[in-house]
């Protein structure tokens, strides 16, 4: 009876889950009520990662919702309405659904399903590495060591805020399936290799490149070394990899469309430097140390029939992964050299979209953990009796210490709203007929990066009503976002309200009064009669537009990037001199002091006193009439100038005026300064900007008086 192997497998799965629960404690005790709080973990940019937690919860919930209701519209997600294919502005994370979808189906709770999936990624990473090392060595203690080192590597512990980063549990299965496909001479393993590659690639764009880089390196090394028994199976294995690549390529078509539309732009070199790893930062320090200590046992650790070429392959995979993780530049001996990242960016389609090179350390972590496991197997195999037992026990103890070293005890968590305690305004939206919603104040996260968490939380809460949402947060924004943002930020202006209904089909406005400034609170208090109130829920008020006009400009907005006119038909062309006449005034007094580096809205009246209509409502960038400002010192010397500081909400005809906020920021400045505010087109100031006003710029630790 084949009972013992099955018992072994069951014990391995149970042990993996127990280890995952212990390694991520107390997450498992609060699956339905709390999520990981990256702001309480060490890290320079962790303040920005809470928004990514909400983002991944929304992505996975949307995937399941779309695939079970309208699978053909998967990428037409409910954010950044009315822009199409907005899921392509973030990871789609489809490769994680084999874990997430059953959990959501059972619990009907996106928080519990997300958190349980996060915990299970540690169990899956542990099991996948265990299976790989046991297959190559036949040594379970070594497999346990390797699995622990990989599942709880510093690289994975750092990525807790992004579930897509934790989905690297497929990586160890790539060398496993690749070797089996070449040696076992069975189509089953070739199919499994293709399936693993597809699932890993569909989990994350970063991991997609990592997966295919890993299989390319491994197959190249083994083909060059020609291990016995692999000849004649090269073409079928390469064909299975090619089939996987073709499937993944089809799934990336929406991303190519988003790139062509200008929504996805390559990151700057400065940004890549910030997100790259250093030469000494492998993300797998415990595994690297143990691999080096046991390097003498690598060859002895392999079981009979496993060629040493696979060890070489792991070494090269780890090296290549870390070389890519250090980004476009390598500092070596006081010299700056171009790294392999730059080479791939030049020759591999889509590689320029990679914004965080450091994530390629997943390959280094996987390769080094497997090497450490093989080395431990060699040490155990070279000893006998008590010495072998003590060696295995010591290795497992070292792996246990790696958990303590890599993962904080205990993980910081934060509460999150769930369907059991849904804010009343969202519960009311869930019962309302489907229609586009905007939440006010609208925090354009390009202008207010510190408010991105607010927009991301609103996205997550939309999973309970699934109305199209004008708001949104992602790594990128669609071409229509700036136009919609300018209109929403001008609310409750009647013309802006009418145009929002025409270009987005807007039906509901959810006003969060606790988030409004004093000026906004007063303006909305005066405009409530223009809307139909569906309910007041503490600080939140849900409105419905009264008899909104038909949404007859939606397509014009979506197609507007290639148009030669604005949505309202104004030609996109430079204005003549007599068309550049404006009168600006402050609708409310500007502040006397602002914080350095923090965005501030100024309430401004703008009147067109020229004979030309100003273009404003369009997806295009060229020829838009924009707000402009500059900071000067007390002697009039220009310190900072922004000639595209924000848009007018809509085309302004002669003698027409609008009241709207304009966002300013004094980055890196301090002291008593002068602000000059005006309008510009194509980088050229209009005549007669507002006279300079004196504003004190103070560091954030000080308190500016309003």
At 6-24, the pLDDT tens digits run 777 788 888 899 989 988 9
Q: Residue 263: pLDDT band by 50, 70, 90 thresholds?
A: confident
Structure confidence by residue, pLDDT tens digits, 84-117: 999 999 999 999 999 999 999 999 999 999 999 9
DSSP state of 636: -
Q: Residue 705: pLDDT band by 50, 70, 90 thresholds?
A: very low
Q: Output Rg (C-alpha) for the chain, integer angstroms.
A: 29
Q: What is the mean pLDDT of residues 301-329?
A: 92
User: Which pLDDT value is given to residue 224?
Assistant: 81
Residues of the chain with CATH 2.70.50.60: 569-698
Does residue 387 register a pLDDT over 80?
no
Q: What is the mean pLDDT of residues 411-423?
A: 91
Please determine, looking at this structure, whether the domain spanning 569-698 carries the CATH number 2.70.50.60.
yes
Percentage of the chain modeled with pLDDT above 90: 66
Q: What is the mean pLDDT of residues 497-519?
A: 95
Contact residues for 216 (Cβ-Cβ < 8 A; gap 6+): 241
Does residue 311 register a pLDDT over 50?
yes
Does residue 539 register a pLDDT over 90?
yes
Structure confidence by residue, pLDDT tens digits, 556-584: 999 877 788 999 999 999 999 999 999 99
User: Which pLDDT value is given to residue 334?
Assistant: 67
Helix, strand, coil share (%) of the chain residues, nearest 5: 55, 15, 35
Does residue 45 register a pLDDT over 80?
no
Nearest-10 Cα torsion for 472, 475, 479, 484: 20
pLDDT higher for 123 or 140?
123
Q: What is the mean pLDDT of residues 647-670?
A: 94
Does residue 229 register a pLDDT over 60?
no
Q: Residue 333: pLDDT band by 50, 70, 90 thresholds?
A: low
Does residue 543 register a pLDDT over 80?
yes
Contacts from 380-385 at CB under 8 Å and sequence distance 24+?
380/139, 380/141, 380/142, 381/139, 381/297, 381/300, 381/301, 382/297, 382/300
| pTM exceeding the 0.75 threshold for the entire prediction | yes
Question: For 641, how many CA atoms within 13 A lie in the half-sphere containing its CB?
Answer: 11
Q: What is the mean pLDDT of residues 421-436?
A: 95
Structure confidence by residue, pLDDT tens digits, 607-619: 999 999 999 999 9
Q: Residue 494: pLDDT band by 50, 70, 90 thresholds?
A: very high
Query: Other CB atoms closer than 10 Å to residue 394's CB: what's the count?
Result: 15
Does residue 392 register a pLDDT over 80?
no
Contact residues for 584 (Cβ-Cβ < 8 A; gap 6+): 604, 605, 606, 607, 677, 678, 679, 689, 690
Structure confidence by residue, pLDDT tens digits, 343-362: 888 888 888 888 889 999 99
Contact residues for 16 (Cβ-Cβ < 8 A; gap 6+): 123, 124, 126, 127, 130, 147
pLDDT higher for 10 or 593?
593
Percentage of the chain modeled with pLDDT above 70: 92
User: Which pLDDT value is given to residue 405?
Assistant: 63
Average pLDDT, the chain: 89
Distance CA 185, CA 174 (A): 16
Q: Residue 1: pLDDT band by 50, 70, 90 thresholds?
A: very low
User: Which pLDDT value is given to residue 94?
Assistant: 97
Does residue 232 register a pLDDT over 60?
no
User: Which pLDDT value is given to residue 346?
Assistant: 83
Q: How far is CA 259 from CA 62, 202, 265, 396, in A?
A: 22, 18, 7, 47
Termini Cα distance of the chain: 81
Structure confidence by residue, pLDDT tens digits, 613-636: 999 999 988 999 999 999 999 999
Least confident of 94-108, 372-386, 507-521: 372-386
């Amino acid at each position: 009876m084949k009972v013992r192997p099955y018992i072994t497998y069951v014990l391995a799965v149970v042990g993996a889950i127990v280890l995952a629960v212990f390694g991520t404690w107390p997450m498992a005790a609060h699956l339905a009520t709390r999520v990981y709080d990256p702001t309480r973990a060490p890290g320079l940019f962790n303040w920005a990662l809470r928004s990514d937690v909400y983002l991944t919860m929304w992505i996975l919930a949307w995937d399941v919702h779309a695939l079970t209701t309208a699978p053909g519209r998967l990428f037409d997600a409910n954010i950044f309405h009315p822009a199409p294919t907005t899921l392509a502005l973030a990871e789609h994370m489809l490769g994680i659904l084999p874990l997430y979808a059953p959990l959501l189906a059972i619990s009907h709770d996106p928080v519990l399903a997300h958190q349980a999936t996060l915990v299970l990624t540690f169990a899956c990473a542990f099991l996948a590495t265990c299976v790989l090392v046991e297959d190559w060595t036949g040594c379970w203690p070594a497999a346990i060591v390797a699995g622990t080192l990989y599942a709880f590597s510093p690289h994975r512990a750092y990525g807790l805020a992004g579930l897509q980063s934790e989905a690297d549990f497929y990586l160890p299965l790539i060398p496993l399936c690749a070797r089996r496909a070449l040696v076992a001479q069975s189509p089953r393993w070739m199919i499994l290799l293709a399936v693993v590659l597809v699932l890993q690639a569909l989990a994350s764009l970063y991991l997609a490149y990592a997966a295919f880089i890993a299989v390319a390196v491994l197959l190249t090394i083994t083909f060059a070394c020609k291990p016995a028994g692999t000849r004649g199976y090269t073409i079928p294995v390469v064909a299975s990899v090619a089939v996987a690549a073709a499937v993944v390529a089809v799934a990336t078509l929406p991303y190519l469309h988003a790139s062509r539309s200008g929504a996805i732009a390559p990151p700057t070199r400065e940004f890549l430097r910030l997100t790259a790893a250093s030469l000494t930062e492998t993300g797998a320090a415990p595994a690297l140390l143990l691999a080096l200590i046991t390097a003498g046992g690598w060859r002895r650790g392999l079981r009979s029939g496993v060629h040493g070429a696979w060890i070489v392959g792991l070494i090269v995979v780890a090296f290549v992964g870390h070389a890519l993780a250090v980004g476009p530049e390598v500092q070596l001996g006081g010299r700056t050299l171009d790294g392999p990242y730059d080479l791939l960016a030049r020759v591999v389609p889509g590689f320029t979209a990679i914004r965080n090179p450091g994530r390629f350390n997943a390959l280094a972590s996987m390769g080094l953990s497997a090497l450490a496991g093989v080395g431990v197997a060699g040490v155990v195999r070279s000893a006998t009796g008590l010495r072998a037992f003590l060696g295995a026990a010591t290795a497992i103890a070292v792996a246990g210490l790696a958990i303590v070293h890599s993962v904080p005890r205990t993980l910081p968590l934060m509460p999150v709203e769930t369907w059991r305690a849904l804010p009343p305004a969202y519960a009311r939206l869930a019962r309302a007929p489907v229609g586009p919603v905007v939440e006010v104040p609208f925090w354009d996260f390009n202008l207010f990066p510190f408010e991105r968490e607010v927009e991301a939380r609103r996205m997550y809460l939309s999973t309970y009503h699934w109305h199209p949402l004008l708001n949104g947060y992602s790594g990128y924004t669609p071409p229509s976002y700036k136009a919609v943002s300018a209109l929403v930020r001008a609310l409750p202006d009647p013309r802006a309200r009418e145009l929002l209904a025409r270009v987005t089909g807007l039906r509901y406005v959810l006003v969060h009064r606790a988030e409004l400034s004093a000026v906004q609170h007063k303006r909305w208090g005066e405009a409530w009669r223009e809307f139909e109130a569906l309910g007041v829920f503490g600080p939140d008020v849900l409105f419905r537009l009264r008899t909104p006009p038909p949404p007859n400009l939606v397509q014009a907005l979506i197609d507007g990037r290639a148009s030669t006119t604005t949505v309202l038909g104004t030609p996109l062309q430079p204005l003549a001199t007599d068309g550049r006449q404006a009168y600006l005034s402050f609708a409310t007094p500007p502040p006397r002091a602002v914080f350095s580096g923090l965005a501030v809205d100024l309430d401004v009246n703008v009147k067109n006193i020229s004979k030309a209509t100003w273009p404003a409502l369009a997806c295009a960038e060229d020829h838009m009439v924009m707000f402009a400002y500059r900071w000067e010192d007390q002697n009039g010397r220009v310190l900072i100038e922004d000639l595209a500081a924000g848009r007018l909400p809509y085309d302004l005809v002669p003698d027409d005026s609008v009241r709207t906020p304009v966002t300013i920021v004094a980055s890196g400045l301090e002291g008593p300064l002068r602000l000059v505010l005006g309008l510009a087109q194509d980088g050229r100031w209009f005549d007669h900007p507002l006279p300079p006003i004196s504003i004190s710029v103070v560091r954030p630790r000080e308190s500016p008086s309003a």
